[in-house]
């Protein structure tokens, strides 16, 4: 309980600190929608008719959502009411020793009606508020299943939880309204204390909640009648730059170059499926598990040209390849983070869950798939860091057949390729105390290419230009950075980037590009390693090597994830590039080679997720071969 209170106070003061530059914009009456996640605290101490005795506290995640109305009595007191639903399911465990467990799985959904008071205008004209009130909950679903170790044939079918009570809870929390995109967005945190047992038959059973959520005010309109807002041109400016092969930032002085090329890319295939904390099912944000797509509809041809999205279908890709290679076998090695996770048998259940997906959705013979478990993977990622721990919660794939885990190649026809392919917009000289919200629009000839938005002072924004995103013309790229200040005025900074489109295609003879550019992004390296495995050495020799000709220019750029010091990571990235060059140069010595190590300086994949960090431990190889 003390930890929860400290967390609430910390979040609340953070909200207050952020609110100091916000002005209160409360209206008499407002309505809107809310949603968020629940962290449920189950405190059981009961026995079931089946013989289970559950006394261990448990936690679970759930979601909540619904609609709200607010009515302001005066500048300090504001009434609030909500109608919605929330989930409070859980898994309760009785540890019998000798790896024997009794498990009660509950599926609970409640209809909630809550009323309360918001205390406004408490923090020096900041919109931050504190709130308190009561919540009444009526069950929508209240089911459970029980698996008893002492009764191997015990039913796992769901039945109604006996004696389910309506729920009355007291809540307290804090929030801060913020203006964004002409709406009021309100992050909010509350703690809800139940005033009774969840079930009169299965009791005592306490069920409290910590909620993190956000609401959006839909009405009434916040527009105020009167003269139109004044739009001014800010004295601030936007600097446009790029990163060279060494990872150093440079001002973009000569504009962008667009060339016609034949483009193909080999996308890395990550042999891991990641899991959430204490979860035995793949993280749905990192791995799709839609069996409806898998049954006769999924194919490699439908995959997007995006490494992150490709590796969200790891299990489907492996299932398809296993079905097409009946002699191949597969090993699934489940692991936990070895620190925050301690559930017995969790690592093996993860592997069994993946096996079940493959056998059920792709008809793979279960005898072809072996499952084992370990506390940590063979090559764990920084096990004492949060990023590393999230990567170690995984199932690792190993196969007797190379085709099962090989990279995925997507080939294109004629494409337009832009250099540099990543540019950065850096706002300069903006008043950090005045800006409320900002938007950055990037367009070409009136066609919107990218829209970015945020709150507070504008920060540097990166834009990765994909093949064919720009038109085949000399039309420049236009950008506008618009800001809305705290006093309601708007400002705009405009600029343009020259575009040089070139093509040596002879239209009267044949329509073919003047250069072949093949890009390879291969996962070659384990965490904090620069050695190339024998399997990846074969990929370099057999997949990359044949593409390199005597007149090719081969550019090899090394990368790392964000874990570790930047200087060390840049050195590690260069070692990876040099190791790759040594193998390719041995097979194709006449080509021209250029190597560089960018490290983490340029984030080529989202390092906020495990898949992105694994993909970042790579080298990118560009083979440019002029057509004769």
Write down the pLDDT at residue 203: 86
Q: Which residue has the tokens 């308190």?
A: 132
Which residue would you say has higher pLDDT here, 342 or 153? 342
Answer whether 269-406 and 515-626 agree in fold.
Answer: yes
Write down the pLDDT at residue 156: 64
User: With 70 as the cut, is the pLDDT of residue 229 above it?
Assistant: no
Write down the pLDDT at residue 292: 45
CA–CA separation, 384 and 339 (whole Å): 8
Residue 447, preceding bond cis, omega within 30 degrees? no
pLDDT in tens, 310-337: 999 999 999 999 999 999 999 999 999 9
User: With 70 as the cut, is the pLDDT of residue 25 above it?
Assistant: no
Which residue would you say has higher pLDDT here, 219 or 506? 219
pTM exceeds cut of 0.75: no
pLDDT in tens, 467-494: 788 887 778 899 999 998 888 788 889 9
Write down the pLDDT at residue 474: 78
pLDDT bracket for residue 242 (50, 70, 90) = very high
CA count, 13 A, side-chain hemisphere, 190: 30
Question: 541-569 burial string, b = 16+ CB within 10 Å, else e?
Answer: eebbeebbeeebebbbbbbbbebbeeeeb
Write down the pLDDT at residue 520: 80
Domain 412-502, CATH: 2.60.40
CA count, 13 A, side-chain hemisphere, 334: 25
Which residue would you say has higher pLDDT here, 8 or 111? 111
User: With 50 as the cut, is the pLDDT of residue 17 above it?
Assistant: no
| C-beta of residue 113 within 8 angstroms of C-beta of residue 167 | no
How much of the chain, in percent, has pLDDT values that exceed 70?
87
Q: In this predicted structure, which of 170-174, 192-196, 292-296, 358-362 has the lowest mean pLDDT?
A: 292-296
CA–CA separation, 47 and 70 (whole Å): 43
Write down the pLDDT at residue 443: 92
pLDDT in tens, 47-100: 888 788 989 999 999 999 999 999 988 778 889 999 999 998 888 998 888 888
Phi, psi for 592 (deg, rounded to 5):
-95, 125
pLDDT bracket for residue 23 (50, 70, 90) = very low
Mean pLDDT over all residues of the chain? 84
Q: In this predicted structure, which of 407-421, 423-437, 456-470 has the lowest mean pLDDT?
A: 407-421
Write down the pLDDT at residue 510: 32
**pLDDT, mean of residues 534-553:** 87
Is the CATH code 3.40.50.2020 the one for domain 515-626?
A: no
**pLDDT, mean of residues 1-29:** 49
* Domain 269-406, architecture per CATH: 2-Layer Sandwich (3.30)
CA–CA separation, 498 and 507 (whole Å): 25
User: With 80 as the cut, is the pLDDT of residue 130 above it?
Assistant: yes
CA–CA separation, 456 and 435 (whole Å): 6
pLDDT in tens, 245-299: 777 889 998 889 888 776 566 788 899 999 999 999 999 999 988 644 444 567 7
CA nearest 479: which of 239, 251, 189, 309?
239
Write down the pLDDT at residue 508: 25
**Cα 88–93–97 angle (5° rounding)?**
170
User: With 50 as the cut, is the pLDDT of residue 206 above it?
Assistant: yes
DSSP 319: H
Write down the pLDDT at residue 583: 92
pLDDT bracket for residue 223 (50, 70, 90) = very low
- Taking the domains of the chain in order of start, what are their residue ranges? 2-219, 269-406, 412-502, 515-626
Write down the pLDDT at residue 562: 92
Please name every residue paired with 567 in a beta bridge, in sequence order, or none if there are none.
Answer: none
Helix (H) or strand (E) holding 113: strand 100-119
Which residue would you say has higher pLDDT here, 420 or 520? 420
3-state secondary structure of 372: strand
pLDDT in tens, 546-580: 889 888 999 999 999 999 888 999 999 999 999 99
Write down the pLDDT at residue 161: 87
Write down the pLDDT at residue 33: 94
DSSP 547: G
User: With 60 as the cut, is the pLDDT of residue 11 above it?
Assistant: no
pLDDT bracket for residue 507 (50, 70, 90) = very low
Q: In this predicted structure, which of 301-310, 341-350, 456-465 has the lowest mean pLDDT?
A: 301-310
CA–CA separation, 501 and 472 (whole Å): 6
Domain 2-219, CATH: 2.40.160
Which residue would you say has higher pLDDT here, 429 or 304? 429
- Quick one: CA torsion of 522, 524, 527, 530, rounded to 10 degrees? -130
Write down the pLDDT at residue 226: 42
pLDDT bracket for residue 7 (50, 70, 90) = low
Residue 536, preceding bond cis, omega within 30 degrees? no
């Amino acid at each position: 309980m003390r930890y929860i209170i400290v967390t609430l106070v910390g979040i609340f003061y953070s909200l207050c600190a952020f609110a100091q530059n916000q002005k209160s914009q409360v209206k008499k009456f407002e309505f809107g929608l809310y949603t968020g996640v629940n962290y449920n605290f189950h405190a059981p101490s009961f026995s079931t008719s089946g013989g289970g005795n559950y006394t261990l506290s448990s936690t679970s995640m759930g979601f909540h959502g619904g609609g709200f109305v607010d009515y302001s009595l005066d500048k300090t007191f504001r009434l609030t009411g909500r109608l919605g639903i929330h989930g409070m399911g859980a898994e309760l465990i009785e540890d019998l020793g000798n790896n024997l467990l009794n498990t009660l799985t509950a599926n609970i959904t409640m209809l909630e009606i809550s009323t309360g008071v918001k205390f406004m205008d408490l923090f020096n004209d900041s919109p931050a508020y504190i709130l308190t009130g009561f919540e009444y909950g009526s069950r929508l679903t209240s089911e459970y299943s029980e698996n008893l170790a002492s009764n191997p044939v015990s039913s796992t079918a769901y039945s109604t939880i006996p004696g389910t009570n309506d729920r009355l809870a007291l809540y307290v929390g804090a929030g801060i309204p913020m203006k964004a995109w002409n709406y009021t967005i309100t992050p909010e945190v509350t703690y809800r204390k139940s005033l009774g047992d969840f079930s009169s038959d299965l009791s005592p059973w306490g069920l409290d909640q910590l909620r993190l959520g956000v609401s959006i005010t839909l009405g009434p309109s916040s527009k105020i009648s009167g003269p139109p807002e004044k739009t001014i041109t800010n004295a601030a400016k936007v600097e446009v730059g790029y990163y060279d092969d060494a990872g150093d930032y440079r001002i973009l002085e000569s504009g962008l170059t667009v060339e016609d090329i034949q483009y193909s890319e080999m996308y890395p295939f990550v042999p891991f499926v990641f899991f959430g904390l204490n979860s035995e099912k793949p993280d749905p944000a990192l791995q799709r598990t839609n069996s409806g797509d898998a049954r006769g509809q999924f194919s490699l041809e439908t995959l997007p040209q995006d490494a992150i999205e490709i590796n969200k279908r790891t299990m489907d890709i492996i299932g398809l390849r296993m079905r097409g290679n009946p002699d191949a076998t597969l090993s699934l090695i489940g692991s936990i983070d070895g620190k925050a996770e301690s559930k017995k048998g969790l690592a093996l259940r993860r592997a069994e869950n993946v096996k079940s997906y493959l056998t059920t959705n792709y008809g793979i013979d279960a005898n072809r798939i072996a499952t084992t478990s370990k506390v940590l993977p063979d090559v764990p990622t920084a096990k004492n860091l949060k990023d590393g721990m999230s990567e170690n919660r995984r199932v690792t794939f190993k196969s007797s057949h190379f085709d099962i885990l090989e990279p995925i190649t997507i080939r294109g026809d004629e494409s337009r390729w832009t250099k540099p392919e990543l540019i950065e917009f850096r706002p300069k000289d903006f008043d950090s105390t005045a800006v409320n919200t900002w938007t950055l629009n990037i367009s070409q000839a009136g066609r919107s290419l990218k829209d970015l938005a945020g709150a507070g002072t504008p920060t540097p924004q990166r834009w990765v230009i994909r093949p064919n995103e720009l038109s085949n013309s000399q039309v420049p790229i236009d950008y506008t950075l618009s800001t809305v200040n705290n006093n309601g005025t708007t400002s705009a900074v405009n600029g343009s980037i020259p575009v040089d489109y070139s093509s040596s295609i002879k239209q009267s003879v044949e329509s073919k590009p003047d250069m072949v550019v093949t890009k390879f992004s291969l996962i070659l390296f384990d965490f904090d390693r620069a050695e190339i495995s024998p399997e990846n050495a074969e990929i370099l020799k057999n997949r990359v090597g044949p593409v390199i000709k005597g007149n090719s220019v081969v550019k090899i750029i090394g990368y790392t994830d964000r874990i570790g010091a930047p200087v060390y990571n840049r050195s590690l990235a260069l070692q990876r590039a040099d190791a790759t060059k040594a193998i390719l140069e041995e097979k194709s010595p006449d080509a021209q080679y250029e190597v560089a190590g960018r490290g983490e300086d340029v984030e080529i994949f989202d390092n906020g997720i495990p898949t992105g960090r694994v993909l970042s431990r790579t080298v990118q190889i560009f083979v440019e071969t002029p057509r004769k």
